[in-house]
Amino acid sequence: MVSPAKLAHVVLRTGDIERMTQWYVQVLDGRVVYANDALAFITYDDEHHRVAFLNAGATERPGPTHSGLEHIAFTYSELGDLLDNYQRLKNDEVTPFWCINHGPTTSIYYRDPDNNQIELQIDNFDTEDALEEFFASGAFAANPIGVEFDPDELHRRLLAGEPISELVKQSGNPVALKDIP
């Protein structure tokens, strides 16, 4: 069997292509590669497009009772990048609905204008072996959702020089499955 080399892009149906395009450009610090009234393509790296929009006239927003996509996750290289982006978006009045350390990742969740969930994250482990040790320890099985965190407090601690290895450790009360927003 041959697996794909990478995930190239995601396409979202929308009824407001201009608003969705601008929101993703803002959140991902991206750029429009192509846009017309029917289609729009954006990227933020060397891929010709990472997120695309199809103006399908869709008006029904996804909700918890709809089957389909739960969220799309984008990974940052380091905690500082994730938290700097959080601050940039906060200054632009784009705020997350959930901030949680899942164990394997530290994640900040947003809802786009169509109510799709977007996860911006970092990997908390530097190596695959360290991640496998975490899973084998039983810590994830005991707390598979994670613990919530305050991104402003985490950013303050990062800027104060606290080691990243300490900042990405889970601390606090586990979130129950029924309490996921």
Residue 168's CATH number? 3.30.720.110
Q: Is 3 within a domain? A: no
Q: Is 150 within a domain? A: yes
For residues 105 and 124, is the Cβ–Cβ distance under 8 A?
yes
Asked if the model's pLDDT at residue 148 lies above 90, the reply is yes
Number of compact structural domains in the chain: 2
Q: Is 110 within a domain? A: yes
Instruction: Please tell me whether residues 75 and 98 are part of one structural domain.
Output: yes
Instruction: Please tell me whether residues 159 and 80 are part of one structural domain.
Output: yes
How confident is the model over 69-98, as a mean pLDDT? 97
Instruction: Please tell me whether residues 34 and 76 are part of one structural domain.
Output: no
How confident is the model over 59-74, as a mean pLDDT? 88
Instruction: Please tell me whether residues 102 and 145 are part of one structural domain.
Output: yes
- Supply the range of the domain harboring residue 134: 71-181
Prediction pTM value: 0.94
How confident is the model over 46-70, as a mean pLDDT? 90
Residue 39 binned pLDDT confidence (cut-offs 50, 70, 90): very high
The predicted-structure confidence for 132-141, as pLDDT tens digits, reads as follows 999 999 999 9
Instruction: Please tell me whether residues 25 and 103 are part of one structural domain.
Output: no
Residue 66 binned pLDDT confidence (cut-offs 50, 70, 90): confident
Percent of the chain's residues with pLDDT above 70: 100
The domain that holds 40 is classified in CATH as 3.30.720.120
Instruction: Please tell me whether residues 82 and 43 are part of one structural domain.
Output: no
